[in-house]
């Protein structure tokens, strides 16, 4: 459950930052808004990959702990 909350928050942070940046800029600065959107999407992807990596490491550690204590 905690990992789901962390994943949800990590997905919402770039979206909130993007919307805040988009609403604060003028409509004539569409190119700047698109660059910011690409940066935020890259950030969201990196956060997602990091979370997946943490889940994999946690699962591997849990599996190794189970094998270690069974000996």
> What's the pLDDT tens digit per position in 25-69?
555 667 777 888 889 999 999 999 999 999 999 999 999 999 988
pLDDT of 42: 92
**42 close to 30: Cβ distance less than 8 angstroms:** no
pLDDT of 49: 94
Whole-angstrom CA distances from 17 to 39, 42, 43, 46, 61 are 10, 13, 11, 15, 34
Structure tokens at 15: 């979206």
Distant-in-sequence, close-in-space partners of 32: CB < 8 Å, separation ≥ 6: 25
Q: Which of 4-13, 19-28, 46-55 has the highest mean pLDDT?
A: 46-55
Domain count, the chain: 1
Domain that holds residue 66: 2-70
């Amino acid at each position: 459950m905690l990992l789901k909350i962390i994943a949800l928050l990590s997905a919402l942070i770039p979206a909130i930052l993007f919307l805040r940046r988009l609403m604060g800029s003028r409509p004539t600065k569409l190119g700047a808004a698109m660059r910011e959107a690409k940066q935020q999407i890259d950030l969201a992807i990196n956060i997602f990959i990091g979370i997946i990596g943490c889940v994999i490491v946690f699962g591997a550690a849990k599996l190794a702990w189970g094998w270690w204590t069974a000996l």
